[in-house]
Amino acid sequence: MTTDIRAAATAILVRDSDKGIETLLLRRHTQLKVGGGHWVFPGGTVDPEDTIGTETDEQAARAAAVRETQEEAGIELRAEDMLLLSHWTTPPTMGRRFATWFYLVEGNQADVVVDGEEMDDYSWGAPSYFLDLHRQGELALMPPTVVTLTELASCVTLIGAKQFYTSRAVPYFEPRISSHNDVICMLYGGDAGYDTTDPNADGPRNRCYLEDGVWRYDFSAS
């Protein structure tokens, strides 16, 4: 039986601070079936209303990212201000699958108001700070969030982040799950073992490991 894949969209809000860039994460309510208790960027599925007045799936995704951010965090965005940085499709082995567009957009100092239903808390912080908490087991994150935070952690300013993402082709992640040294390994395109789903293959790395409930991103060009 084929599992339906739902279109979705996510907004990565980034702003400059005295200590470098900060990004916004929201905590999903623990009772939610998908990602309950995890900290995520604002976003959700593309609804029929998001397709009104749009001509492509990507335009509808932008509309969804704007709507979801307003509903979940009380923040108004403009679709034309968002920069497409990646696209993720949930692996076939997962029960619920999504094809999610990820967008970078400038944040501001506006108050965040979580909806209290899907999201019950929020935090602005440096990408490296969130990753440190995740490594310590204090912050639940999913692989796309870990990968994106790792990329953002190498950027000093919002302008630098925009330059980083515009300098590369938009990657389309279609993870393949394997095991490496008895650890779950999620392989992405460009990894030496991706085509054969062999994590032992020599060459470039583009993968995540699940170690004691914590995801670790491993990327190397050679």
The pLDDT assigned to 70 comes to: 96
The pLDDT assigned to 2 comes to: 46
CB 75 within 8 A of CB 109: no
Q: Per-domain residue ranges for the chain?
A: 5-174, 175-222
Q: At residue 191, what is the residue type?
A: D
Longest dimension (CA), the chain: 52
Q: Is the pLDDT of residue 52 over 50?
A: yes
User: CA–CA separation, 221 vs 202, rounded Å?
Assistant: 12
Q: Please state whether beta strands 83-89 and 172-173 pair in parallel, antiparallel, or not at all (unpaired).
A: parallel
Mean pLDDT of the chain: 93
Q: What are residue 27's phi and psi, to 5 degrees?
A: -100, 125
The pLDDT assigned to 95 comes to: 75
The pLDDT assigned to 34 comes to: 63
The pLDDT assigned to 169 comes to: 96
User: CA–CA separation, 74 vs 71, rounded Å?
Assistant: 6
CA distances to 44, 70, 91, 167, 190 from 34, rounded to whole Å, are 11, 20, 14, 33, 28
Mean pLDDT across the stretch 195-200?
A: 95
132-146 per-position pLDDT tens digit: 999 999 999 999 999
Q: At what angle do helices 127-135 and 143-153 cross, to 10 degrees?
A: 130
CA distances to 54, 101, 166, 187, 220 from 91, rounded to whole Å, are 28, 15, 26, 10, 22
Six token digits for residue 71 = 């509903």
Comparing 115 with 59, the larger pLDDT belongs to 59
CB 86 within 8 A of CB 107: no
Reported confidence tier of residue 203, pLDDT bands at 50, 70, 90 = very high
Q: Which residue has the tokens 């602005």?
A: 124
Reported confidence tier of residue 32, pLDDT bands at 50, 70, 90 = low
CB 110 within 8 A of CB 101: no
Q: Is the pLDDT of residue 46 over 60?
A: yes
Q: H-type helices in 14-157, by residue range?
A: 57-73, 127-135, 143-153
Reported confidence tier of residue 30, pLDDT bands at 50, 70, 90 = confident
User: CA–CA separation, 185 vs 176, rounded Å?
Assistant: 8
Mean pLDDT across the stretch 19-31?
A: 90
Class of domain 5-174: alpha beta
User: CA–CA separation, 115 vs 113, rounded Å?
Assistant: 6
